[in-house]
Amino acid sequence: MASAPASLDPRFATDAASVRVNRLLYRALVDFDAASRPVPQLARWERLSATRYRFVLGEEGRRFSGGGRLTAEDVAATYRSILDPATGSPLRAGLAVIRAVRALDEDTVEFELARPDPLFPGRLGVGILPAAAVAAGRRLDRRPEGSGPFALLDWPAPGVLRLRRRADGLVVRIERVRDPTVRLLKLLRGELDLIQNDLPPELVRYAASRPELVVRRRPGSNFSYLGFNLEDPDTGRLAVRRAVAHALDREAIVRHVLAGAARPAEALLPPEHWAGARGLAPYRHDPERARALLREAGYGPARPLRLTYKTSADPFRLRLATVIQHQLAQVGIRVTIRSYDWGTFYGDVKAGRFQMYSLTWVGVRSPDLFRYLFHSASIPPRGANRGRYRSAEADRLIEAAEAARDPAEQARLFRRLQALLHEELPYVPLWYEDHVLVARRAVAGYRLRADGAWDGLTAVRLRAPARAVSAGGGGRG
């Protein structure tokens, strides 16, 4: 990993590493298909009325790693805990539509909603916790107990996790290695068996030339963007954000810095998503237009626009930031880069201590994320509207899309919302990065997913004599 998970309790997991590890440790009521529509994982469901849903648990995945059987009461306890303000879960705002959750018997749980929400099943992707552990207030962030395909064996150091695959006892060691060159050297020496993402293109090219390694790719859906503080006197101005968008040469960055391993993005949801935006006119690289927008906003040689850009200390992310800094300088925007270790950087972003930053949203599935990111009621700590974006029209479209019962109407409203966001630019869309696996030839059975999840570890095997599998993976959230 480029960064270690912050929490192994799914009620508090918001960074990419935590989400990916937790997906291995826990099972949820629902999962998603290739078009990001919700499908059963632990349970199938029935819509009893506009505000009542009944979920019936199946038999698969119902044994916690501690030995207990997962029941409807565990489901109810998990969601009640998230909804309890005293818990302080960042997921609470996205689930506030739940008025009550009741276990009817061991296999059946009902959700009563405060208002109709046709998207509701897609909100239930949270890993289920044991009710007894929740009631006892156990520290599940360090000692997780889920019913997923893996269990935590130990956490011997801050950057090292060892997971045991429950089906056959295979041990997977997941290790944080911040420097990508060191990561690849460890792979070449056999200290790691596979790396997913977070290798710069030149190292991927080098890995492809090595006979002992295999490189595989697939297009991804993880959305990279520039975020802005809309309460800042500079980045809060639409003309400034549009100038930044036109100053960027995204195609050149994709071609030369990312070695073609990405596709330009115009919206949070990729076009193949059932509610994905299509036909949005891209912000073309247009330095003259960018300079004109800056002049209209009162900036120029006598009064240059100065921005501070925060990013992580990952060498490749820092290189991307430097390229963006150079492109913005060509239109007269003077950018100061501030790079920090992941914890400090992510803490600043969540607290709104930034003018401009770059991050990637990973595992985007349900469009309910729009409320979490852009509704005016979702400013932290009630959500992840970190840029303090406030728009009555965006709020109306989010609420109308959530209330629409016809999937085609929902998709139409979400596309209108994405067109509005594309116009008002609380984020400047950058690209959807491809996923890249670099592995030793002894590794077999690992499949990349479009969302970058590490589910491939559930089927990975070694052709060599059995031993612990070591994995280095990347992600930003």
Average pLDDT over the chain reads 93
The model's pTM: 0.76
pLDDT score recorded for residue 473: 56
pLDDT, position 472: 65
Tens digit of pLDDT for each residue in 161-216? 999 999 999 999 999 998 999 999 999 999 999 999 989 888 999 999 999 999 99
Percent pLDDT > 70 in the chain is: 97
Question: What is the arithmetic mean of pLDDT over 51-71?
Answer: 97
Query: What is the DSSP secondary structure assignment for residue 257, as one 8-state letter?
Result: I
76, pLDDT greater than 50: yes
Dist. CA 467–CA 149, nearest whole Å: 18
Taking residues 123-142, what's their average pLDDT?
Answer: 94
The tokens describing 283, both together, are: 């912000």
pLDDT tops 50 at residue 60: yes
pLDDT for 475 = 44
In whole angstroms, how far apart are CA 448 and each of 220, 306, 363, 435, 460?
Answer: 9, 41, 13, 7, 11
- 357 burial level (CB within 10 Å; 0-12, 13-18, 19+): buried
Question: What is residue 477's predicted lDDT score, i.e. its pLDDT?
Answer: 35
pLDDT tier for residue 469 given thresholds of 50, 70 and 90: low
pLDDT higher than 90, residue 93 = no
pLDDT for 464 beyond 90: no
| The predicted structure's pLDDT at residue 476 | 38
Task: Give the pLDDT confidence of 274-321 residue by residue, as tens digits.
Answer: 999 888 999 999 999 999 999 999 999 999 999 999 999 888 889 999
To the nearest 10 degrees (0 to 180), the angle between helices 238-247 and 287-296 is 160
Cross-strand partners of 470: 173
Closest to 248 (Cα-Cα) out of 356, 331, 355: 331
Q: How confident is the model at residue 94 (pLDDT cuts 50, 70, 90)?
A: confident
List, for residues 332-375, the tens digit of each pLDDT value: 999 999 999 988 999 999 999 999 999 998 777 888 889 989 99
Q: Could you give phi then psi for residue 146, rounded to 5 degrees?
A: -125, -175
375-433 pLDDT, tens per residue?
999 998 888 999 999 999 999 999 999 888 888 999 999 999 999 999 999 999 999 98
